[in-house]
Structures are given as C-alpha cells and as structure tokens.
Amino acid sequence: MSTEAMKPLRVNRAPLSAQVQGYLLDLVKAETLQPGEQLPSENELAIQLGVSRSTLREALLNLEQEGVIVRKHGVGTFVASGYGQQLETGLERLESVLELAARQGLQTAVADLQTSQEPASAELAARFQISADTLVTRVSRVIVVRNKPVAYMVDVAPAFVLSPADLEASFNGSVLDLLRRKPDVHIAQAVADIMALNADDLMAAKLRVAPQQALLLLEETLFNDQCVAVEFSCNYFIPEYFRFHVVRR
C-alpha cells in the first residue's frame, strides 16, 4: 500500500484513538493493507492521519492486542500474517483449543510436552481445597498449527484427579478433553479471566516471538458437579492467531 492512501481522519464523537483504530482495521479488512505488509513509521502515519503520536500509539496498542498487527522492536509495525485466519470462539462456550481448531478445519500438534509432580503450593492448596502436602500434576506444552507455535499452556491439577500416567496413552494436548473422558471427574463449568500482557523471556522462547510482544493470557479454573475446583490453567495465546468474544444476554 502506498503512503498516499492514508488520509486524515474526519472528526466524530468517538475518541480519536478509537477512530484511528477503526480506520486502520477497515483498511486491513478491505485488504488495502495486506497481511505481512509493513505500515509507515509512527511519525509518518501520525502525520498522514492528522493525529498525535500518543493517539496513534494507543490505537496501535489496541490493534496489537487484538492480533491485527505485530510490532517488531527496531524493525517496524506489520499487519499480522495470520490475520483473517484466527481461531475464534466465545468464552461462554466450554471447549478446548483443539476442539476449536478442529471445528475450523485446522490440525494441531503438541510440542515441548513436560510433566511433573510437586507438593501443592499454598495458593493451589486453597484453590483445590486440599492439604499443602498433596501432590499436584503440572503439564506444560506448546500447541502448534501449520508448524507455527500459537499457544503455550500450563495446567495444574491434584494428582488424584490427573496423574502423569493419564498423559502417556493418547494425550492430544488438551487437559480439558482428557478430564472430560474420565468417568469420575464430571467437569461441569469453568471460570475464566482473560488479560493482555507482554511476553517475558520464557514465553518469547516457547512461542518463538520477540520479548515484550503482546500476548493474551486466559486463566481458567475447571469445577466438577460438586462445585469443587479440579484443575487450573494458564494459557498464553499469540493474538495474531486467536480471537475471543463474549455473548451477553
């Protein structure tokens, strides 16, 4: 896209940063800005749109957190190469990433699978209503789609709910799916929180992204039919490949 295609924004009642965000998103959706294409520098883009750099940065931050753009430190800002092919789901729907991918015709793979057992921390003991000396099983892995890491997941559950032996047979990457198949667990509901954060060195290495790149963190606690927490997970997603929404009624 040539820089001449950018035009100053017309003023309306929406916050100016929201106008910038919406305008750039429309250009991406219309394919005026192509996946993988580099945007002009912040200074050039601010001048073309007739806004301050602080306003532009707020809009770009929101677009980055939504997975529309990717900012590479010292290189520039690019339209996300995976935009338009995101895995999308509603948080009101209890389904695994693997179910989500399968529903959208994508095949997943598991990489860097690690399992361990350890005594429950005070926080986990309180969460699961168990004593501090009770063993918990920790499972971490990277989910890969089309040879690209898209998520890093860490699940923890009491060892009497989930044991390393459970993972040896046919673990497909989803602890949720595994627990659903266990006749004595009875998953009834989940409570989830989602937030934006920047990748630390560990996340950057696991997901093969630059440190400080925007990620989405989904923290989720699974409850059985007795309203007892049986599993807790921290799921780190690359926004370029995921989009979550909530249906409110």
Is the domain of 95 the same as that of 116? yes
Q: How distant, in Å, are the alpha carbons of 88, 89, 107, 113, 161 from that of 100? A: 8, 7, 10, 20, 24
pTM of the complete model beyond 0.85: no
| Residues 107, 26 within the same domain | no
**Both tokens assigned to 247:** 């249906």
Residue 240 lies in domain = 87-245
* Model pLDDT, residue 88: 54
pLDDT at position 134, please?
Answer: 95
What does the pLDDT read at residue 35? Answer: 81
What integer pLDDT is reported at residue 33 of this predicted model? 86
pLDDT tens, N- to C-terminus, the chain (249 residues): 554 566 666 556 678 888 888 888 888 888 888 888 888 988 989 888 999 999 998 888 888 877 788 887 778 888 877 665 555 554 445 667 777 777 667 788 899 999 999 999 999 999 999 998 899 999 999 999 888 898 999 999 999 999 988 887 678 788 998 898 899 999 988 888 888 899 999 999 999 998 988 898 989 999 998 999 999 999 998 887 766 655 554
CATH number where 7 lies? 1.10.10.10
Nearest CA-CA partner of 117 in 163, 67, 86, 165: 163
DSSP for 34-54 reads: PTTPBPPPHHHHHHHHT--HH
Residues 185 and 227 in one domain: yes
Indicate whether 221 and 108 sit together in one domain.
yes
Same domain, 177 and 62: no
Q: What is the pLDDT of residue 104?
A: 65
Q: What pLDDT score does 156 carry?
A: 97
Q: Quick one: 48 and 153 in the same domain?
A: no
Give how many domains the chain has, as a whole number.
2
Which of 79, 108, 133 finishes a domain?
A: 79
91 and 54 in a single domain? The answer is: no
Predicted confidence at residue 138, as pLDDT, reads 96
Contacting residues for 140 by C-beta, under 8 A, at least 6 apart:
112, 113, 114, 115, 152, 153, 154, 155
Q: Are residues 32 and 122 in the same domain?
A: no
On whether both 61 and 105 belong to a single domain, the answer is no
Q: According to the model, what pLDDT value does residue 3 have?
A: 47
| Domain shared by 228 and 109, yes or no | yes
Say whether both 112 and 202 belong to one domain: yes
Answer with the one of 19, 51, 79 that is the final residue of a domain: 79
Q: Which of 23, 46, 79 is the last residue of a domain?
A: 79
Whether residue 96 sits in one domain with residue 72: no
